[in-house]
A and B are shown apart, each in its own frame.
Chain A
């Protein structure tokens, strides 16, 4: 049977089955089990109305339970067993084995890098694009174009960016944009300006933002006599420590950058330069996610009450002050939402690494590490263990989302 026909039949069975199920089960309840007539009509109507929600919910609950809830438990179980010993319980042996592998720690380090850089860069670019496009006539067109990569698959985007990074021997014409641009630099004043001063300023700006976030996190402790929940304190201190680490690392990178001898005039295999190749992969995701951030943030920017902006201008604020001191604080909630949404995408990132480097040259990430373990080395124990690590990384966001959703419903 041709797959297309099979697909059509599945649609018919699936959709028809669903509709039929809902219709018939409702009929069954109303007409046969709890008929709304006879001596117990009132009671029956009430009973039918108690059962009915579960009829509507049953297929969804079944599918969610089987395809999302059950796997969480089952993966946890698998991560504690060994396939080679016939599924015997081995405790944390899989985790222990995983923690001794350098590839795992490489994946962890890279995932953390992704986690910091991609949401930050996407949100920053998205905010910039939202602010810029909201003020001009052709903003809608500009938005469409920046938003467009959202429709492109990670694999398609990987091909697009591999074409940008491609390197040819020095005596041939470069067909990758990045190398073509790179060969324009010869180490003169222009090179210093573009390749050292500009990145240094950008990294410095990043460090400044991180330092500011750390300051905000620590602010409640600097004042005296305020009480905090233990959980909040731990989160804030942890965040501040992370921020301090990032600031120090960024400053160290700047120092190194000025000391580095850049190999001018030689075409570079960008994806094989350890550590920095991670950033070339991240660019792909930033390129895709910026549109998402822009769309959400632009809607938030439009929702800002105009009076606040007008009052600031009347008081003599310049456009930058209006943006950073009036607008940004008011959309802080939305920025956090965008940030966490992109963080979720980053934690699960697989396709880009798989298609561009497949984890070679120190670009491994957790999801690809897991895929390797599962389907190349057939090690289900360690594979499941790494999946559980991903789940653990996601769970703070999960808790936070559920907490917010419940607060909103009350």
Chain B
């Protein structure tokens, strides 16, 4: 659009760079969490997560194998040979030494003279050969100080701990299923209730319709904070108490205004002819609704469903007030994470993994259904 006069905008590169910077800035925090969830405790505590993506240089103190069991005679000398690293290690030694005061005395592959003919050779891959007389090759294995490059290394242990261990404080499995139990009915029920109401508000003529629509728009912004005490009292009073039923009802009530608003706006836009024709052909309102309106409104239903799903999945306040009782049996993931922040504040491997488990499902839904989410947002922001 900017180059219609035949001149290419000189700003193109700036635009690309600025966008790239913005995108990196926005994805950086999430990547940090993601990467941290695959690191061990030691790794997390010894370096920032950004260091784990490139090869890390670390200093290690290792020992040659015990001469008593491993030395083999070679002429009048004895030799101990093997590898400093366990099998499968991909570390690369750059420099090494045999004294703590001089840990970078030799480069990899060099043979060190330890005096009186005793020698030590260490290769880059950790293979070593320690050669000397009967006397020299005895006692404990020779200490070797190495400076090695370790390739990025990741572990699934954290996920095992968080998902499979069943540990009371760390386990997210129960909370995961609890969240799911809260979310699904709390998403489906308001859709059904709202769809009928939206149809009446969009296509039926009755006195007070405009007022009702205005009320729905007004209720759209009522903060749910106001509802907490009165409804909790109500739930306790009529015997629902704290539990799933209460939280389902609460989410239904809080989600309804948006659902009605979104669905009504969409249904009003459906072609009048179809509905009039159906009426002329003798269809009842109920048939028009189920056979014509509902199938045609699928995009709006989908967008609200995503909204409500994300909102209920990510909710903390409503669950805390209406669901979670003193036993904590019905805790949801958001609450579990807040508790972990208290009890495991410094254990980033657990925290990061737990948080990632909780955001994984919304992220999948988000990327799979982004189209509907955007559509719903455009319709839902009060024009």
Chain A residues proximal to chain B, CB less than 8 Å:
3-4, 6-7, 10-11, 14-15, 18-19, 22-23, 26, 30, 50, 52-54, 56-57, 59-61, 63-64, 66-72, 74-75, 78, 125, 128-129, 132-133, 135-136, 139, 142, 144-164, 166, 172-177, 180, 287, 290, 292, 295-296, 299, 306, 309-310, 313-314, 319, 322, 333, 337-338, 340-341, 344, 347-348, 350-351, 354-355, 367, 370-371, 374-375, 380, 383-384, 387-388, 390-391, 394, 397-398, 401-402, 404-406, 408-409
Complex Cα gap A61–B212 (Å): 9
Cβ-defined contact, B253 with A59, below 8 A: no
| A59-B196, A161-B29, A405-B214 known; A14+B223 contact, CB < 8 A | no
| A11-B184, A163-B36, A348-B224 known; A173+B48 contact, CB < 8 A | yes
Cβ-defined contact, B244 with A14, below 8 A: no
Complex Cα gap A68–B219 (Å): 7
Cβ-defined contact, B15 with A136, below 8 A: yes
Jot down 28 A-B pairs with beta carbons below 8 A, ordered by A. A7-B184, A59-B193, A60-B260, A63-B249, A64-B256, A68-B253, A68-B257, A135-B2, A135-B12, A136-B12, A148-B26, A151-B359, A151-B366, A153-B313, A155-B316, A156-B334, A156-B359, A158-B341, A159-B354, A161-B29, A173-B48, A290-B26, A313-B4, A354-B338, A355-B341, A390-B225, A391-B222, A405-B213
Can you name the residue of chain B whose Cβ is closest to the Cβ of A291?
B26
Can you name the residue of chain A whose Cβ is closest to the Cβ of B366?
A151
Cβ-defined contact, A142 with B220, below 8 A: no
Question: Main SS of chain B's interface residues?
Answer: helix
Cβ-defined contact, A175 with B381, below 8 A: no
Tell me which residues across on chain A come within 8 A of B224, comparing CB atoms.
348
Can you name the residue of chain B whose Cβ is closest to the Cβ of A304?
B1
Cβ-defined contact, B367 with A144, below 8 A: yes
Which residues of chain B from 238 to 260 have a CB within 8 Å of any chain A CB?
Answer: 244-245, 248-250, 252-254, 256-257, 260
| Among candidates B9, B228, B348, B365, residue contacting A374 with C-beta atoms closer than 8 Å | B228
Tell me which residues across on chain B come within 8 A of A26, comparing CB atoms.
284-286
Q: B217 near A: Cβ within 8 Å?
A: yes
| A4-B177, A175-B45 known; A53+B204 contact, CB < 8 A | yes
Cβ-defined contact, B221 with A64, below 8 A: no
Which residues of chain B from 349 to 366 have a CB within 8 Å of any chain A CB?
Answer: 351-352, 354-355, 358-359, 362-363, 365-366
| A4-B177, A132-B22 known; A75+B226 contact, CB < 8 A | yes
Can you name the residue of chain B whose Cβ is closest to the Cβ of A162?
B341
| A151-B365, A152-B30 known; A57+B212 contact, CB < 8 A | yes
Question: Main SS of chain A's interface residues?
Answer: helix
Complex Cα gap A149–B337 (Å): 18
Tell me which residues across on chain A come within 8 A of B330, comparing CB atoms.
3
How many residues from B make CB contacts under 8 Å with A?
118
Cβ-defined contact, B192 with A18, below 8 A: yes
Can you name the residue of chain A whose Cβ is closest to the Cβ of B22?
A129
Tell me which residues across on chain A come within 8 A of B226, comparing CB atoms.
71-72, 75, 387-388, 390-391
Residue-wise, chain B 311-343 has the 8 Å CB interface mask toward A (1 for contact) of 001111100110000000010001001100100
Tell me which residues across on chain B come within 8 A of A388, comparing CB atoms.
226
Cβ-defined contact, B222 with A152, below 8 A: no
Among B63-71, B103-111, B114-122, B370-378, the one that faces the other chain is B370-378
Cβ-defined contact, B181 with A63, below 8 A: no
| Among candidates A56, A132, A162, A341, residue contacting B200 with C-beta atoms closer than 8 Å | A56
Tell me which residues across on chain A come within 8 A of B2, comparing CB atoms.
135, 313, 319, 322
A152 CB, min distance to chain B CBs, angstroms: 5
Residue-wise, chain B 182-219 has the 8 Å CB interface mask toward A (1 for contact) of 00110011001110110111001110011011111111
Cβ-defined contact, A139 with B19, below 8 A: yes
B165 CB, min distance to chain A CBs, angstroms: 20
6 nearest A-B pairs in the assembled complex, by CB-CB distance: A67-B253, A153-B314, A60-B197, A151-B366, A74-B230, A56-B200
Q: B310 near A: Cβ within 8 Å?
A: yes
Can you name the residue of chain A whose Cβ is closest to the Cβ of B187?
A11
| A59-B193, A160-B29 known; A3+B341 contact, CB < 8 A | no
| A3-B330, A72-B226 known; A337+B196 contact, CB < 8 A | no
A304 CB, min distance to chain B CBs, angstroms: 10
Tell me which residues across on chain A come within 8 A of B212, comparing CB atoms.
57, 61
Q: B280 near A: Cβ within 8 Å?
A: no
Cβ-defined contact, A14 with B1, below 8 A: no
| A149-B30, A180-B48 known; A18+B189 contact, CB < 8 A | yes
Cβ-defined contact, A371 with B201, below 8 A: no
